[in-house]
Structure 1
Amino acid sequence: MEPRDEQPQATATPGRPLDRRAELSEFLRSRRARLKPEDVGLPDFGRHRRVPGLRREELAQLAGVSVAYYTRLEQGNGRNVSAEVLDSIARALRLTDAEHAHLTHLAKPKSLKKKPAARQQQVRPSLCRLLDTMDGVPAYIVGRRAEILAWNRMAAAVFGDWADLPAVERNWARLVFLRPDYRDLFVDWEQKAIDIVCALRMDAGCHPDDPRLSALVGELSVKSEEFRRLWATHDVKEKSHGLKRLHHPLVGELSLNFESFRLTGDADQSLVTYHADPASPSEESLRLLASWGADATRAPTR
């Protein structure tokens, strides 16, 4: 039977950093719980199994480490763990590349000197000019904590004129979880919500000392039941491309392909662009929005 030790609980208190030790503990337990013995070639003793997923001793065996060593790690003590051991545990847990990176950030946080995590994020002026030249292409730059930092006229036409919002509200997590009009905008709202939470989880792994991120998570946990549910899954992933289906209040259904690019020189920022398939109804709808100019910004945020 699994030892029922006292586990640190990963909670978010507004204004206080996330507890990295608790985050590490809960992430490992959640990844272990999703694996069944048959998934990794181990016998399943059915009714004698009292824990979801793999037992600690089974995971330790697969990773080639002692049960005591793995138990200490799962209790949040990753202080002296080596990269090789983390690699073995990641393989045993069948982690994705994003999950592996998240585990490494939680267990072995970088000790390099950084600018304060809560600093104001800045977009290079040349990038703002680049956005303006992307005529007909909705594009924006998103930073840490899902903050929307800069955008062009077409992004405003598609997603709403963020310039009308206070700076603190220009945040994808706030928009998606706290505003009903954005729930209507995304045809697959649940998937958009999952993507945002996964991105915030990765931010938490890289910057557990960021009080503004903790405050955001704390606020959303209080105000949104859906956010609490998704945050508790501890899922992480990076989505660099895909298809988004929108229900625009002026032109109706839009099917747009998106591409996301991490910016060289500031890995916390990404350029996100959208385009429609050639000769598609969505391409014609984008042309309409572009031709309407300022009138097209009378979208969901107004």
Structure 2
Amino acid sequence: MATPPGPLGEFLRAQRSRLTPADVGLPDVGARRVDGLRREEVAVLAGVSADYYARLEQGRERTPSAQVVDALCTALRLSPDAREHTFRLAKLAPATQPEPGPVSPELLQLMDAFPHAAAYVVDPGFQILAANTTAKALLGPSQLAVGAFDFLFVDPAARTYFTHWDHVARAAVSALRLAAGFANPHPAVPPLVSRMLAGSPEFAAFWADQTVAGLSLTEKVINHPDVGRITLTYQTLDVREAPGQQLTVATAPAGSPSADALALLGTLEATRTTQP
């Protein structure tokens, strides 16, 4: 019986399939039976034997050295997030993802100090741990209750809410794959992945793409039921004092229609929460 390739082998093969010889400065000689680079080409670029690299992809070799993994990451032109993920899959990085505790009072105070921004904190399973007034109005009851993935892939309203749903959903899956790369990920992550794979063909297709990228800086266009179409810049940061927590802040340029709409959302939410 053939040895299963395992997470590292599957990931390496997926990254190899994305590259062309031109991407890495190699001549494109002869017909190709596979997408992307040949195994032999990756081996040459990484300075390892073709047989050794084949064994890595096939799962017959599972303990590469840090030097080999670093060379493979360079050969495959991996991003910093994908490089970090590869080291985790090779068991050359911390094996356990920290389980974040409650959001600190200091962070809650900081979030409330953003009167013109929506700020919220998520755990590695993308459940929302805390949100300021504006974020509560922006996200709405469904996202606050079920978290990002059930909203994106289960709630039909998400496809109206996000103008570019496909882009947002792909980015979320890429970030979840990064969180799932630990040998011992956050307890919420494996069951979330299993449930989404079983229940959403679109999630399964995005997951099979093997793309890894943490959330950072991005723009989203939202059709909000209370204020209409708004364009926001989202910045996501790791909370150093609470590993595993991520703070996302959504803003719009001062004086823009989107900034006015965001401010109105905050006012509406504050009014709702103070009504008897």
Report the TM-score, using the length of structure 1 for normalisation: 0.82
Say which of 37, 41, 46 aligns to 2:21.
37
Q: Check if 1:92 corresponds to 2:75.
A: yes
Q: Check if 1:123 corresponds to 2:107.
A: no
- Structure 1 residues 41 and 164, CA gap change in structure 2 (3 angstroms): closer
- Structure 1 residues 173 and 207, CA gap change in structure 2 (3 angstroms): farther
Q: Supply the distance in 1 between the matched residues of 2:101 and 2:30 (Cα, whole angstroms).
A: 52
SS at match of 2:243: strand
RMSD: 2.5
1:1-302 map, 5 Å: 6=2, 8=4, 22-47=6-31, 49-76=32-59, 79-110=62-93, 121-161=101-141, 165=145, 169=146, 171-210=147-186, 212-294=188-270
Structure 1: runs of 5 or more not aligned = 10-21, 298-302
Deviations 1:182-206 (CA, angstroms, capped at 9, x unpaired): 2211111111101110111101112
Q: Supply the distance in 2 between the matched residues of 1:285 and 1:236 (Cα, whole angstroms).
A: 33
Structure 2: runs of 5 or more not aligned = none
- Structure 1 residues 239 and 79, CA gap change in structure 2 (3 angstroms): same
User: Is the Cα contact below 8 Å between 1:121 and 1:143 reproduced in 2?
Assistant: no
Deviations 1:241-298 (CA, angstroms, capped at 9, x unpaired): 121110011111111112111111333111111111111111111222222235679x
Which residue identity does 1:35 align to in structure 2? L
Q: Supply the distance in 2 between the matched residues of 1:120 and 1:90 (Cα, whole angstroms).
A: 29
Report the TM-score, using the length of structure 2 for normalisation: 0.89
Instruction: Between 256-265 and 35-44, report the one with greater CA deviation.
Output: 35-44
Q: How far did 1:209 drift?
A: 5.0
SS at match of 1:94: coil
Aligned length: 273
Q: Supply the distance in 1 between the matched residues of 2:148 and 2:160 (Cα, whole angstroms).
A: 14
Q: How far did 1:44 drift?
A: 2.9
User: Is the Cα contact below 8 Å between 1:34 and 1:52 reproduced in 2?
Assistant: yes
